């Protein structure tokens, strides 16, 4: 009866640990989703800073254009004053030219009359000719001055057109910048609203992650214990079995280990090559590489001998994160794996991530647990899959217990 009870205890322990594995995966996925929400909020903060910088730059340009318009207005007033002076000069010099012309015409008319007279008055003719000669040079100078004034007035008119055109260009730029500033302000308000919503969603995602972690802990503590018979639950701890411990089967020790929540013994149920495989890395900051659904388990695929890791499927774009601190040993395409990333974690541990859509790190880079190392992007209407392996000294190890062991240390 005792052996039968022990057998039932082991079977119940296996079922309970599989349930614990699923709840651990859910908790890890929830934490990864919270990280994604945090990343989205960070991106919105960056966009908000960029918009703020663009708005400040636009405001500076508007101030510069306003100063340019003021300078153009001052130049235009000066030009109007000079144009008025030129107009006055044209009027004055035109009147002088007209007066000299009339005098000259009067002298010439009198000379013509004297020339037609029967008795010529030689003395008067000579006098008139002298008067006419004295008018020639002043008349020419007055005409030249009048032409110069008219040219200056024309130049002022052209300059006025140029100033008006420059003012229109500056005003057009000012209106464009004002529209741009209005658009930036509207975009900034929209991003602030998005940021508030993203922050709300991030907090909700973190609460979901905490609830998922709490469920995982309750499964380990209550559901597993409730599924085991009392006889197995009262098994003594291996530390108190003495010489008997060496004669018990590993599955019995594992059932006791599940009750004691010792990761190094729980590892036996998942096909670990060594009992200390999980304990060597547990509690040191592991995170789930991507938030998704585990569709392939360690050694349980159609080709069990080749399924040396787990496969996570996603239906939308996800960030891929380093599962633990380490250094990138390989990053790039690899035959049969697509884009492959290998991270060395120390103590002869390596993690392999393959199937990434994009890589964000290069060989030799130091990465921290949870740091983005790439992206996983499904095709339209499809899914994308990330294959994850954990190896120690080249021997494959089931990564799920290892990842689950760090969830109480890393929560987004």
* Separation CA 257–CA 249 (nearest Å): 13
Task: Tell me the whole-structure pTM to 2 decimals.
Answer: 0.39
Same domain assignment for residues 190 and 126: yes
pLDDT of residue 263 exceeding 60: no
Per-residue pLDDT, 262:
36
**CB burial string 330-353: b at 16+ within 10 A, e below:** ebeeeeeeebbbbbebeeebbbbb
Same domain, yes or no, for 42 and 152? Answer: yes
**SS3 state of residue 397:** strand
Please give the pLDDT value at position 394. Answer: 85
What is the CATH classification number for the domain harbouring 52?
A: 1.10.287.2610
Q: Is 268 a domain residue?
A: no
**One domain, residues 65 and 181:** yes
pLDDT band at residue 249 using 50, 70 and 90 as cut-offs: very low
Residues 83-119: tens digit of each pLDDT: 888 889 888 888 988 988 888 888 888 888 887 776 6
Domain termination site, one of 166, 198, 228: 228
Q: Is residue 126 part of a domain?
A: yes
Same domain for 184 and 80? yes
d(CA 269, CA 289): 23
Structure confidence at residue 301 as a pLDDT band (50, 70, 90): low
Is 255 a domain residue?
A: no
User: Are 162 and 43 members of one domain?
Assistant: yes
Positive or negative: CA dihedral 394, 395, 396, 397: negative
Higher pLDDT, 308 or 278: 308
Q: Show which of 168, 197, 228 is a domain's final residue.
A: 228
For all residues of the chain together, what is the average pLDDT?
A: 76
Residue 246 binned pLDDT confidence (cut-offs 50, 70, 90): very low
Q: In which band, very low, low, confident or very high, does the pLDDT at 238 lie, cut at 50, 70 and 90?
A: very low
Whether residue 207 is found in the same domain as residue 285: no
Same domain, 13 and 107: yes
**210, 228, 246 - which closes a domain:** 228
The domain total for the chain is: 2
Task: Determine the structural domain holding residue 36 and report its residue range.
Answer: 1-228
Does residue 229 register a pLDDT over 90? Answer: no
Query: Domain for residue 246, yes or no?
Result: no
406 — pLDDT class (breaks 50, 70, 90): low
Q: Mark whether 213 and 299 lie in a shared domain.
A: no
Task: Give the CATH number of the domain where residue 297 resides.
Answer: 2.70.70.10
What spatial distance separates the first Cα and last Cα of the chain, rounded to whole Å? 48
Same domain, 127 and 38: yes
> Are 163 and 26 found together in one domain?
yes
Provide the b/e sequence for 130-139 (b: ≥16 CB within 10 Å): eebeebeeeb
Whole-number Å distance between alpha carbons of 132 and 290:
108
Residue 14 lies in a domain: yes
342 has a pLDDT exceeding 60 = yes
Domain-embedded: residue 292: yes
pLDDT in tens, 10-52: 455 545 556 666 777 777 777 777 777 788 888 888 888 888 8
- Classify residue 196: in a domain, yes or no: yes
For residue 261, which of 212, 216, 299 has the smallest C-alpha distance? 216
The span from the CA of 45 to the CA of 37, in Å, is 12
pLDDT number for residue 72? 87
**pLDDT confidence tier of residue 363, bands split at 50, 70 and 90:** very high
Pair (181, 330) in one structural domain: no
The pLDDT of residue 221: 55
More confident of the two residues 115 and 368: 368
Q: Is the pLDDT of residue 251 over 90?
A: no
Is residue 230 pLDDT above 50, yes or no? no
Q: 218 with 285, same domain? A: no
Q: In Å, what is the CA distance from 267 to each residue of 118, 276, 350?
A: 148, 8, 18
Contacts of 41 (CB under 8 A, 6+ apart): 195, 198, 199, 202
Q: In this structure, is residue 274 part of a structural domain?
A: no
> How do residues 153-197 score in pLDDT, each as one tens digit?
899 889 889 989 998 999 899 899 889 888 988 888 888 898 888
Listed range (36-40, 77-81, 136-140) with the worst mean pLDDT = 36-40
Name the strands in the sheet holding 358-359, side by side, starting at the edge strand that comes first in the sequence. Answer: 318-321, 372-376, 358-359
- Residue 210 — pLDDT band, cuts 50, 70, 90? confident
């Amino acid at each position: 009866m005792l052996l039968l009870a022990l057998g039932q205890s082991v079977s119940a322990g296996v079922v309970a640990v599989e349930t614990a594995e699923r709840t651990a995966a859910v908790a890890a996925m929830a934490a990864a989703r919270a990280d994604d929400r945090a990343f989205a909020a960070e991106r919105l903060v960056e966009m908000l800073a960029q918009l703020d910088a663009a708005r400040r730059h636009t405001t500076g340009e508007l101030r510069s254009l306003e100063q340019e318009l003021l300078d153009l207005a001052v130049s235009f007033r000066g030009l109007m004053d000079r144009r008025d002076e030129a107009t006055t000069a044209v009027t004055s010099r035109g009147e002088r030219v007209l007066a000299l012309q009339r005098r000259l015409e009067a002298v010439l008319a009198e000379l013509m009359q004297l020339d037609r007279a029967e008795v010529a008055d030689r003395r008067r003719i000579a006098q008139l000719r002298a008067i006419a000669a004295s008018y020639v040079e002043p008349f020419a100078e007055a005409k030249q001055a009048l032409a110069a004034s008219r040219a200056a007035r024309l130049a002022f008119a052209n300059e006025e057109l140029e100033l008006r055109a420059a003012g229109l260009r500056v005003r057009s730029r000012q209106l464009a910048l004002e529209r741009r500033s209005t658009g930036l302000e509207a975009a900034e308000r929209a991003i602030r609203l998005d940021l508030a919503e993203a922050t709300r969603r991030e907090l909700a995602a973190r609460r979901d992650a905490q609830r998922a972690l709490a469920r995982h802990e309750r499964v380990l503590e209550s559901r597993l214990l409730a599924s085991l018979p009392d006889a197995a639950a009262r098994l003594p701890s291996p530390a108190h079995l003495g010489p008997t411990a060496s004669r018990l089967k590993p599955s019995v020790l594992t059932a006791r280990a599940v009750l004691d929540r010792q990761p190094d013994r729980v590892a036996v149920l998942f096909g670990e090559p060594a009992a200390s495989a999980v304990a060597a890395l547990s509690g040191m900051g592991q995170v789930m590489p991507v938030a998704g659904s585990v569709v392939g388990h360690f050694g349980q695929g159609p080709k069990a001998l080749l399924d040396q890791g787990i496969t996570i499927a996603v239906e939308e774009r996800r960030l891929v994160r380093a599962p633990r601190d380490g250094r990138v040993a390989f990053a790039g395409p690899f035959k049969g794996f697509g884009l492959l990333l290998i991270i060395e974690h120390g103590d002869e541990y390596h993690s392999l991530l393959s199937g990434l859509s994009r890589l964000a790190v290069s060989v030799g880079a130091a990465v921290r647990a949870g740091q983005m190392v790439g992206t996983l992007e499904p095709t339209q209407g499809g899914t994308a899959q990330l294959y994850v392996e954990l190896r120690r000294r080249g021997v494959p190890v089931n990564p799920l217990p290892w990842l689950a062991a760090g969830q109480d240390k890393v929560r987004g």
